[in-house]
Copies of this chain bind each other. A is one copy, B any other.
Amino acid sequence: MYIGVDLGGTGIKAGLVDEKGNILHKDSCPTRAMEDYKVIVADMADLIKKVLNDTDTNTSEIKTIGIGCPGSIDDKNGVVIYANNLNLHDAPLAEELKKYYDVPVYVSNDANCAALGEFFALDDENITDIVAITLGTGVGSGIIINKKIFTGTNGIGGELGHTVIKANGEKCTCGRNGCWEAYASATALIREAEKAAKENPDSYLAKLVAENGGKANGRIPFAATEKGDEAGKKVIDKYILDVAEGIVNIINTFQPHAIVIGGGVSNAGDALLKPIEEYSKEHCYGGIFQTKISIAKLGNDAGIIGAAFLGK
């Protein structure tokens, strides 16, 4: 059995995970984000102890512990180089947690852990390479090559959300203009939906936005489109096209067996998936479309499961 820890800016989640990737039990506690890493690891150790106690599990039954953490991680040494919402700088999480548990400890970026979780969830021995993306506040991405997380030579590669698809385009949080994230994130979808609602005050989209206190969310433009609203459809069509451009870029670059789409926007399901598939089929290089595109299965549990399997 394995322990997976998902260390976030507001909470720490820990789960006991079996060989097949099922979470047998999980628990959480708040992250004391502004404290020293030793305090955070002590809380983490307590949480793991609770999970073990609550399941009558002995430490000797645990093969590995994995920690997923936002930011730049030195996977090899289990050190968080930098995580801006956690006040962590060169924090040796693995070394510190080993003081509590005599078990191999691994640390990786949370998006990469989620990708690894989704990879195992596909549960197909013919699949070795996947790219998992999350369409949320930003566009996260995790790349699995040959069953292993790929992060480039320094641990910070695989930032597909920060590859430009429209040079000189929308401002991105990373400082560049025209990044995929600036078009394919839920944030971008909301931005465009609110703009369209303003420009089309009589639309059903505008009505839904007004009912939501003047704010759009990732569901509203899909809901408007379902009702046949033209303004909503325009927003969705453009959004999906921009998502699809990035997906085709991924295919032409990695030719992965699978691309898994997660994050809030992925709740749209087939309304998102089908047009992306169609566009990819038509536009991928050489017309060879062999990548299976699907919606992520694990939701918020992907991070725990992926972290648990970091040493697998």
- Chain B binder among A43-51, A245-253, A262-270, A294-302: A245-253
- Chain B binder among A155-163, A190-198, A211-219: A155-163
Does A271 touch B at the CB level, under 8 Å? no
Contacts of A167 in B (CB 8 A): 165-166, 241-242, 245
**A248 contacts B176, CB within 8 Å?**
yes
CB distance from A69 to the nearest CB of B (A): 15
Contacts of A70 in B (CB 8 A): none
Copies of the protein in its oligomer: 2
CB distance from A142 to the nearest CB of B (A): 12
- Chain B binder among A93-101, A116-124, A283-291: A283-291
Contacts A152-B255, A154-B290 supplied; 11 other A-B pairs, CB < 8 Å: A72-B286, A152-B253, A153-B256, A156-B285, A156-B288, A157-B252, A159-B252, A160-B252, A160-B253, A166-B167, A167-B242
Q: What are 10 A-B pairs with beta-carbon distances under 8 A? A: A72-B286, A128-B153, A153-B255, A153-B256, A153-B290, A154-B290, A156-B288, A159-B252, A164-B245, A166-B166
